[in-house]
Every structure is written in C-alpha cells, then in structure tokens.
Amino acid sequence: MNGPATMPVRWRSRRRVGPTPSPSRVMNLMITRLMAVCLMWHVLLTSACNAQQPIRLSLVAWQDDGDAELRKCAGILSEFSRQHPQFQVDMTYDSWANAYGRLSRWCGSLNEYAPDMTIIPDQWMGEFSDHLYAFGPGFTQHLQAFFPLVLAPAIIDGRTHGVPWRMDSQVLYYRTDLLAEAGQSPPQTWEQLSAAATEVANPSKGIYGFGLPGAVSGGGANLLLTLLWSSGGAVVDDDGEIHLVSEQMIAALDYCVQLARSGALQPEVLAWDQASLQQTFMDGKLAMLIADSTLATRLHQSKTPPDYAVSSLPAGDHPLAFVSMSYLVVMRTSRHREACQEFLKYMASKDVQERMLQTGTIPSHWEVAERFKREALMGAFVANLEHAHSRPNHNWELLQAGLDDALFLAISGRMSATEALELVQAKYFSATPETE
C-alpha cells in the first residue's frame, strides 16, 4: 500500500528579516568604521613618531655686537646630539644689552616663556639663584676638574647652580718699545709698576706711563679690587655684607691717588674709560694698562700690531688672578631638567672644554689650562687661577657705583681716601666698620 507522497522539507531561517537599511544609514555606518580605523592608525603613528623625536632643549645665549665666536658652538651642540640622539639643543642668541631685562622677566611674570637653559654672568648669580635649578651632590663630581675659586660665584648657600661657560681674566699689557726706551723692565710688583710708569711718562710728548680708567663705570672699580685682593683684603665678609673701610682698601685707593699726583697717569684721569685707554695703548701713547683678552684680540686683528707683551697681574703680598665668569644654568621652570643635566655634564667634560677655546674663552678647566702655562701670551691669562677672584655675585652694580664715587672724591682732592670710603660706606651700605 502506497503511502502519501513525501514533500520536500524547506528550512526557514530564524533570522528575522526587517526592513532594508536606507543608503544613508549604510553610508554613515561605513564612515564611522573608517574613522575608527583612521583614529587607530593615527594613534599608532603618533606613538611611533614620538618615540623617534628627540627632546628639544632651548638655550638662549648672549653676545656682544659683532661677536661671532659663539656661533662656533654649533659643532659642539651637534656632537652632543650625535652622542645623545634622544636630545637636541636649540641655541638662539640675543645681545648682552637685553640680558638683564629678559632674565628678570623670565624670573617674574613671564616665567612660562623662559628657556630650559641660559647664560648668567658671575655678578648676577646671587640675584637670580632662587629661579635656577640647584644640582644635587652627585652632580658636583663632574665639576672637580675646574678651579674651585672659578666655581665659587655659582655656589649659593652651598649648592651649585651652574657650569662654567666662558671665562676671561685680567693681565698687565705693556708696550715693549716704550719700556725699552725708558730703560725699564716689565714690572712684577705694584711698587715696580709705579716706578716704571713714572719713568716712562713724558707728557710733553703725549706719552703716559699707566692707564687708570677713572670715568663712571669705566673700570676703576676693578683696579681697586685688584689692589685690595693682592694685599689680602676682602670687600665681602662671610655673611655676604659689603665693607669698604679697611686698611687694605684705604691703601689701594691711596695708591691710585699717588699715581695720579706723580704724573704717571694720563691727564684728566676721571674722564677716561677702558675703551679710550685701550685705543691710546694701540696708538703707542700709553705704556701699560690692565685689561682682559678682548684687547689681545683687537691687537691681533689690527693691520700693524704694535710691539707689546703681557704678564700676570702685579703681585702684592698675595698673587692673584681677576676673572670674569659666565655660567650655563638650568631654569627651575624647565620641564626637562634631567635632560639639561646631561647636557651640562657633557659641557663640563675636558674634551668639550678644549673645544670651547675656539669661542675665545680662557680655560677654567685646570687640565686644559695646564697646557698653556708656558705660552708667552696665554700663560699670563691662566697664571694664578688657583688664587682667582671675581666680582661679587650680588650687589655688584651698587659696589661698582660706590667704588667709582670713592675714586672720584679721592683723586679730585675733595676728600682723603679714608674720608671718601667712609662717606661711600654710609651712603650705599648700612654699616660703617671701624678702620683696623
């Protein structure tokens, strides 16, 4: 018996079939997915790029008009980036005339615009130290090869705030031709300098023995400090207070007065600044003066260099060097202080300090300086660096003004050296110490 015919079975999909999506919805869905894919690739590429991009450190340096020596630092910075590919130092330049104003703004209301690093001279270190990064004890091991007294202005409250950048030092320049005509030898002491200057001076021929810069801010304050330090005196006590009335300072000022009265100096002493004296020296009218290495550069670049030589500063009871320093510092506002420390370690190395000589600096690294001690010219500039002195790292402008006033009052004959210093002490500083 045949059963009923078997019908084929059709399986129905359990998926509910809804209305067909509109084309716009499909397009929006595709765009959303595409954007998600693009975002993912952007995150990946950005991460990869960030991993390859070095940390950029900003450095603002200062230069005098026409000073192109700093541009020679470019190779030093490039070498640092080659050795440390994770860092890049971008150095820009501005005039020294703008330095104090910009530093003041970076340490004040415009601190968000401060660079990671900059250069600060010795006499401003104390004023701006609160806004500088102070290095820990572990960092100081990288500075052990520098002359301790050269580092002193950068050490405030026992903490180091900078690495030597450039240094200059004062030496005695003398015209060998003028000394020879007068039968004089290069002086080695202040007494010998006074005697030689008096013998060389011939006002009727316009020849002067020694140049004293007596104009306001002309450089006379530096000479007074040099005389003071060479006799073992000090102008700043252990508490950082300035005291001008001392036996040694009175003697230093009296020395300048006696030079002026002896006829050994240029006429109208109180009208001359350092630049005028240097030009007179180059013209063959001045036998001796104290100046830094910028005069040697001018003499070397002149078409007909004069007959001259240099020697270390005349000695009193204490041999000395008078140096002016500038320091590479890290601003406290920097977000890359650890990276900046790596750059400062690099700059403090012997190899880099040797390369910095091409910028015109006098070596402050003792191993580098040692190589030049027997050279006729450079030897004078590196002599006695173990006994170096520099301008006080605070209140320099006030001290300079006070010493300029004292020099004017004493040389003009208005007051004795003691009276002039006592007046200046009372005018500019609170305490008037007793003369010993």
**Is 215 a residue whose pLDDT tops 80?**
yes
Residues 6+ positions from 151 with CB-CB distance below 8 Å: 143, 160, 164
Q: Are 270 and 215 in contact (CB under 8 A)?
A: yes
Q: What is the mean pLDDT of the chain?
A: 88
pLDDT band at 62, cuts 50/70/90? very high
Q: Dump pLDDT digits (tens) for 197-208.
A: 999 999 999 999
pLDDT of residue 3: 47
Task: Provide CATH 3.40.190.10 ranges for the chain.
Answer: 55-168+325-379, 171-312+395-428
Residue 327, phi then psi, degrees to nearest 5? -125, 140
**Is 233 a residue whose pLDDT tops 80?**
yes
pLDDT of residue 436: 42
pLDDT band at 394, cuts 50/70/90? confident
Q: Are 297 and 91 in contact (CB under 8 A)?
A: no
Q: Dump pLDDT digits (tens) for 339-368.
A: 999 999 999 999 999 999 988 899 999 999
pLDDT of residue 30: 65
pLDDT band at 22, cuts 50/70/90? low
User: Could you give the CA distance from residue 408 to residue 400 in angstroms, rounded to a whole number?
Assistant: 12
Q: Are 392 and 173 in contact (CB under 8 A)?
A: no
pLDDT of residue 316: 78
Q: Are 228 and 249 in contact (CB under 8 A)?
A: yes
User: Could you give the CA distance from residue 125 to residue 157 in angstroms, rounded to a whole number?
Assistant: 12
pLDDT of residue 47: 52
Angle (nearest 5°) at CA 92 between 90 and 95: 160
Q: Are 104 and 308 in contact (CB under 8 A)?
A: no
pLDDT of residue 374: 87
pLDDT of residue 359: 86
* Mean pLDDT for the stretch of residues 401-418: 97
pLDDT of residue 162: 96
pLDDT of residue 121: 96
pLDDT band at 40, cuts 50/70/90? low
User: Could you give the CA distance from residue 173 to residue 292 in angstroms, rounded to a whole number?
Assistant: 9
Which residue matches tokens 């031709």?
Answer: 177
pLDDT of residue 25: 65
Q: Are 131 and 160 in contact (CB under 8 A)?
A: no
Q: Dump pLDDT digits (tens) for 129-158.
A: 999 999 998 898 999 999 999 999 999 999
Q: Domain 171-312+395-428 adopts which CATH fold? A: D-Maltodextrin-Binding Protein; domain 2 (3.40.190)
- Closest Cα partner for 281 from 175, 204, 364? 175
Which residue matches tokens 């006030």?
Answer: 398
User: Could you give the CA distance from residue 342 to residue 88 in angstroms, rounded to a whole number?
Assistant: 11
One-letter amino acid for residue 186 of the chain: P
- Closest Cα partner for 410 from 272, 220, 131, 236? 220
Percent of the chain with pLDDT over 70: 85
DSSP designation for 100? H
pLDDT of residue 208: 98
Return the CATH architecture of domain 55-168+325-379. Answer: 3-Layer(aba) Sandwich (3.40)
- Closest Cα partner for 366 from 380, 352, 353, 375? 353
